[in-house]
Amino acid sequence: MPLLLEWLDEARPDVVALQELKATDAEFPRAAIEAAGYGAVWRGQRTWHGVALLARGVNPVCSRRELPGDGADSQARYIEAAVDGVLVTSIYLPNGNPQPGPKFDYKLAWFERLLVHARMLADSGHPVVLAGDYNVVPTDADIYATRSWLKNALLQPAPRAAYRRLLAQGWLDALRALHPEDRVYTFWDYLRNSWPRDAGLRIDHLLLSESIQPRLVAAGVDKHVRDRDNASDHAPVWIELS
């Protein structure tokens, strides 16, 4: 929480998508977020789940607190809200490890539901940003080395194919679009001295619908945040829209 408030103060983002809150709805730190100047909508859950959207100076207008398609799915992994005329999501796609197995099957089924909903959003013509932790390394250019990750769910052919199908709907991978040849990472594992070695992965993505793509000005990763004490293993990924 202190690192989040510190980053909000220094970066002043207009909209923030958070994943893996590890807090129930009642435990969400609404007062501290509002004191920092942000309105918020969230769907909390203990353990490893929970998603939220913050907006500077306004209250996000929540349109969904769960991904359609499976009424029995109780995991808090999706929320979407309108902020200043743009629909923004916070996606926490399942990790899927170990694979093969039920967790990997759930990952693929969840991805199929996302594809259906994303198609509806794309067809709407509205400006939409699909932001979140996708737990997918799209290509080998998005990871420092594949050798020790070959059996990991993040690199398997099926989720990679699902990600390509998502882009084929007309979504633009903003970070890759502006940095087509660069080694850009968003996640560095706590293990194997990954951060000092810059042994990273790109698994956090911001995808833009066709109507908003011409407004993309810049995109990047605030890598310096990953170097702070008690930092997340993810660094903030950002885009700027005109």
- Rounded CA-CA distance 57/55 in Å is 6
Q: Which pLDDT tens digits describe the chain residue by residue (242 residues)?
A: 999 999 999 999 999 999 999 999 999 999 999 999 999 999 999 888 999 999 999 999 999 999 999 999 999 999 999 999 999 999 999 999 999 999 999 999 999 999 999 999 999 999 999 999 999 999 999 999 999 999 999 999 999 999 999 999 999 999 999 999 999 999 999 999 999 999 999 999 999 999 999 999 999 999 999 999 999 999 999 999 99
Residue 125 contacts residue 87 (beta carbons within 8 Å):
no
Sorted by where each begins, the domain ranges of the chain are 1-66, 93-241
pLDDT on residue 47: 86
Query: What is the SS3 string spanning 166-215?
Result: HHHCCCEEHHHHHCCCCCCCCECCCCCCCCCCCCCECCEEEEECCCCHHH
pLDDT on residue 48: 85
Residue length of the chain: 242
Residue 191 contacts residue 152 (beta carbons within 8 Å):
no
Domain range 93-241, its CATH number among 3.40.190.10, 3.60.10.10, 3.30.1230.10, 3.40.50.1390: 3.60.10.10
DSSP assigned state of 117: H
For residues 75-96, one letter each, b for 16 or more C-beta atoms within 10 angstroms of the residue's C-beta and e for the rest, the string is bbbbbbbbbeebbbbbbbbbbb
pLDDT on residue 34: 98
What's the token pair of residue 69? Answer: 């398609």
Residue 201 contacts residue 119 (beta carbons within 8 Å):
no
Residue 203 contacts residue 227 (beta carbons within 8 Å):
no
Q: What are phi and psi for residue 88, nearest 5 degrees?
A: -125, 140
pLDDT on residue 19: 98
* This model's pTM is above 0.85: yes
Residue 204: strand pairing partners: 133
pLDDT on residue 42: 98
